[in-house]
């Protein structure tokens, strides 16, 4: 299936490293056959670390890597030498990745920037050597601490696309055609619903060598917030968009009603999505004559709107102006 290399959800098992044991060594040499304790500390177990990498745009590299383990710490040794730390396991992910506990669903953290690192599972601490347990009444302790065990568990990594503008609409609303018109992106286009099964990104050129990133989100259907039609898998990508461009085709029976259904799905999924700036684009407007266009205008919702046609180019420049204005408006 085209687009199958886009993976935005993986479940992985991680295990951090065990700490090395402390040493219970007692110093012995030719001149001092009964020396005191000199056991060193054990090394720290390896961490499981998530690191942002802007060169990645999918979680495909983790699809078949289900078990990830960090290295164990090395035991301490004589002469108070600390054991080597276990090898950290660094998992590189695209910016916009959210880590969750697979059992509880609790969100742990987000990786937002290139190079940002966060510890998913810390390694176990190394045990203390016997030198730490020496005292006036116990001068030759013959014991040391064991290292702490590592931690383990199942985790979910979800990718939320980072884009300036998100295209929101029902299947077959003309979103993919629009993206292909305004950018170099080549989404799959056909005259039937659910052509787009994974999000598509495109860079849209604007005036004076400026640009913005637009995301074609797979079509939303009614009750998508309940997971219908993989709705929640699609809706989460909208959370990262600064502006939402609603697309409703000109041949819709009721443009305002379709817009309100889309708005309801966003509200039910996450009420904070309604705080984002919104623009309504009436697509496929080449199907309308001037008289029909004027009849439709009074019934449109009270948001900035524009009639566009990806086929003829009608209204495309006006749409870009509205988007750029919306992206650069200062929030009061």
Examine the pLDDT at 227 and tell me if it is beyond 50. no
Examine the pLDDT at 2 and tell me if it is beyond 50. no
Q: Residue with structure tokens 């110093």?
A: 27
Separation CA 211–CA 30 (nearest Å): 76
Separation CA 273–CA 110 (nearest Å): 18
Mean pLDDT, to the nearest integer, of 240-250?
Answer: 89
Just give the CATH number of 1-159.
2.70.210.12
b/e burial code for range 138-156 (CB count within 10 A of at least 16 → b): eeebeebbbbbebbeeebb
Separation CA 329–CA 164 (nearest Å): 13
Q: Can you spell out the DSSP letters for 168-196?
A: EE-TTSSHHHHHHHHSS------SSTT--
Do residues 14 and 56 touch, judged by C-beta distance below 8 A?
no
Mean pLDDT, to the nearest integer, of 91-117?
Answer: 93
Examine the pLDDT at 64 and tell me if it is beyond 70. yes
- Residue 297 is predicted with a pLDDT of 93
Degrees, nearest 5: CA angle 189-194-195: 20
Closest CA relative to residue 311, chosen from 282, 285, 281 = 285
pTM: 0.67
Asked if CATH classification 3.30.70.360 holds for the domain at 163-328, the reply, yes or no, is no
Mean pLDDT, to the nearest integer, of 3-27?
Answer: 87
Check residue 138 and report its DSSP letter: -
Task: Say whether 163-328 and 1-159 share the same fold.
Answer: no
Per-residue pLDDT of 269-286, as tens digits, reads: 788 888 889 999 999 999
Q: Can you spell out the DSSP letters for 41-110?
A: PPPPPPPEEEEE-TT--SSGGGTT--EEEPPPPPPPBTTTBPPPPPPPEEEEE-TTEEEEETTT--EEEE
- Residue 324 is predicted with a pLDDT of 94
Do residues 37 and 27 touch, judged by C-beta distance below 8 A?
yes
Domain boundaries, given as residue ranges, for the chain? 1-159, 163-328
């Amino acid at each position: 299936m085209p687009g199958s290399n886009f993976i935005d959800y993986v479940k992985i098992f991680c295990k951090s490293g065990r700490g090395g044991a402390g040493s219970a060594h007692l110093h012995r040499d030719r001149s001092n056959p009964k020396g005191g304790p000199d056991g060193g500390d054990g090394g720290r177990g390896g961490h499981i670390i998530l690191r942002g990498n802007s060169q990645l745009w999918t979680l495909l590299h983790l699809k078949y890597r289900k078990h990830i383990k960090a290295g164990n710490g090395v035991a301490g040794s004589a002469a108070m030498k600390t054991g080597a730390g276990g090898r950290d396991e660094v998992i590189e992910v695209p910016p916009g990745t959210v880590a969750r506990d697979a059992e509880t669903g609790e969100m742990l953290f987000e990786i937002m920037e290139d190079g940002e690192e966060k510890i998913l599972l810390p390694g176990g601490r190394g045990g203390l050597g016997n030198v730490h347990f020496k005292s006036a009444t116990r001068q030759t302790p013959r014991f040391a601490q064991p290292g702490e065990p590592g931690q383990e568990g199942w985790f979910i990594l979800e990718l939320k696309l980072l884009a300036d503008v998100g295209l929101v609409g029902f299947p077959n609303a003309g979103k993919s055609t629009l993206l292909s018109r305004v950018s170099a992106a080549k989404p799959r286009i056909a005259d039937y619903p659910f052509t787009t099964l994974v999000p598509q990104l495109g860079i849209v050129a604007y005036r004076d060598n400026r640009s913005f990133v637009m995301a074609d989100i797979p079509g939303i259907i009614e009750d998508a917030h309940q997971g219908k039609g993989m709705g929640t898998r699609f809706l989460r990508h909208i959370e990262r968009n600064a502006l939402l461009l609603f697309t409703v085709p000109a041949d819709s029976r009721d443009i305002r009603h379709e817009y309100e259904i889309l708005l309801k799905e966003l509200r039910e999924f996450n009420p904070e999505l309604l705080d984002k700036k919104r623009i309504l684009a009436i697509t496929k407007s080449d199907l309308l004559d001037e008289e029909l266009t004027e009849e439709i205008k009074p019934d449109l919702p009270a948001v900035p709107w524009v009639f566009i046609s990806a086929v003829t180019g009608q209204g495309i420049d006006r749409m870009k102006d509205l988007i750029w204005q919306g992206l650069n408006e200062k929030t009061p």
